[in-house]
Copies of this chain bind each other. A is one copy, B any other.
Amino acid sequence: MNLLSSVLLTDRYELTMAQAYLAQGMTGEAVFEFFVRKLPPRRNFFMAAGLEQVLDYLEAFHFSPEDIAWLEQTDGFSPAFLASLREMRFVGAVHAVPEGTIVFPHEPILRVTAPLPQAQLIETRVMNLLNFQTMIASKACRSVLVAGHRPLIDFGLRRSHGAEAGLFAARAAYLAGFTGTSNVLAGARFATPTYGTMAHSFVQAFEDEATAFEHFARTQPHNVVLLIDTYDTEAAAAKVVALAARLKEQGITIHGVRLDSGDLADHAHKVRTILDRGGLTETKILASGNLDEDRVQALVTGQAPIDSFAVGTAMTTSSDAPSLDCAYKLQEYAGRPCRKRSEGKATWPGRKQVYRHFGTDGRLSSDVVTVEGDPQQGHPLLVQVMRGGRRLAPSPSLTEVRRQAGSSLAQLPEPLRQLGIAVPYEVRIAPALAELAQKVDLRT
């Protein structure tokens, strides 16, 4: 059994509620929507991601005999309920915004239409999957926007929140425009390019740094990137120059050096000078070490001679906003639109669609959220991707999604591309939706 793919990865109340619905015969059609309530501080947009994993989950949704056996020996679940779980497969429909699309608060990213008990049972994992990858892709975009043409590599696995976080963060970052990842499993699973250099431990394991460099270069002649900050960065750069001369005779080139500590801009200038004077004008400088989009931007605008950046923990944990204020809310049951009115957490009722408008420059100008079937100008964002629990078509490849994400970023108005907070993008509520909300409020 693949432990983590168990549908028991859910909140207990989903099971409790499903039992109550089934006991009452409440298996009518329910419509839930997933959306984010508000932007984190210093964010101007989200990038939708994680749909692929949601569809995988829904297609595979079933309770295994082990799952049922465990539930049987806990309190609170009736034999009739467990019997219905045994047979349950997800048979609903899914409408969603394609991965890589720019989205804003209160715009539905995903809509589930399914018999109420099923639509409820999947809540926790659907949220868990969409919250994480949307959060990471949105964070990764910020580094992509400031790095320009310079490659960005994900180095965050060691401090990602467990195995799945590391794997999906690598996927979301690549989708958002990163060049690749250090994560080998992401390479195996998602065909993301993988990159790696050496650790300080490698340098330390040898009696001296120069020997470590030389040995590494001879063993990995096709990818020689040397970490030069273990003891003294500039002294190490000089050793690289000396080594390059010896290696040249054997046709081995030193492709790059990595800086991982101290004042990266200062070291980069000094190292660039040492390398250039030594004739190593083609040797690249990779920077790493507690980088985030702000530090990358400072290095880029300060014209530090850095060719590529490895961004780790800050990206894979979305350190400044490690969760989204997201929700998966019942918007309609058995043909009756509904809404929650809890203080500060009210939602818009009904099945919704988002229409996007573009300016003459091809950039996003405003969105309108309305009820499905209310004709509007603009490009509709939600498309149906699943019917009867099966994908309508094979998912686009990750490469294709990444290309689309790049186009989406290019369509962002300039103010939204900045790291600082911009005037919020205009998202209007259409009259038809406002009227529906009023009607619902009068009823309850």
Which A residues fall within an 8 A CB radius of B?
Answer: 2-6, 8-17, 19-21, 23-24, 26, 30, 32, 67, 70, 74-76, 116, 120, 123-125, 127-129, 131-132, 155, 157-169, 182-185, 187-189, 194-202, 204-205, 207-208, 215-216, 219-220, 222-223, 229-232, 260-262, 313, 317-319, 322-324, 326, 328-330, 333, 336, 338-345, 444
Scoring A12, A19, A20, A216 by chain B CB atoms within 10 A of each residue's CB, the highest score goes to: A12
Contacts of A21 in B (CB 8 A): 202, 205
* CA distance in complex: A169, B232 (Å): 39
Scoring A322, A336, A344 by chain B CB atoms within 10 A of each residue's CB, the highest score goes to: A322
| Contact A323:B319 (CB < 8 A) given known A12-B182, A128-B157, A168-B162 | yes
Which B-chain residue is minimally distant from A127 (CB atoms)?
Answer: B158
Contacts of A164 in B (CB 8 A): 4, 161-165
* CA distance in complex: A377, B59 (Å): 60
Contacts of A10 in B (CB 8 A): 157, 183-185
* CA distance in complex: A208, B165 (Å): 40
Question: By the criterion CB–CB under 8 Å, are B159 and A324 in contact?
Answer: yes
Question: By the criterion CB–CB under 8 Å, are B161 and A162 in contact?
Answer: yes
Contacts of A215 in B (CB 8 A): 20, 24
Q: What 5 pairs between A and B have smallest CB-CB spacing?
A: A12-B196, A162-B164, A13-B196, A161-B161, A201-B330
Contacts of A158 in B (CB 8 A): 11, 123-124, 127-128, 131, 328
Contacts of A189 in B (CB 8 A): 3
Question: By the criterion CB–CB under 8 Å, are B182 and A13 in contact?
Answer: yes
CB distance from A86 to the nearest CB of B (A): 16
Contacts of A185 in B (CB 8 A): 3-4, 6, 8-10
**Beyond known contacts A75-B222, A128-B162, A318-B322: 10 more, CB 8 A cutoff:** A2-B2, A8-B187, A12-B196, A30-B201, A30-B205, A120-B202, A127-B159, A200-B342, A204-B340, A261-B344
* 12 interchain pairs, CB-CB under 8 A: A9-B157, A12-B183, A12-B195, A13-B198, A14-B196, A16-B198, A120-B199, A128-B162, A161-B162, A162-B168, A208-B444, A317-B322
* CA distance in complex: A128, B167 (Å): 12
A202 partner, pick from B3, B17, B131, B262, beta carbons under 8 A: B17
CB distance from A308 to the nearest CB of B (A): 15
Question: By the criterion CB–CB under 8 Å, are B343 and A261 in contact?
Answer: yes
Question: By the criterion CB–CB under 8 Å, are B128 and A166 in contact?
Answer: yes
A220 partner, pick from B16, B131, B155, B223, beta carbons under 8 A: B16
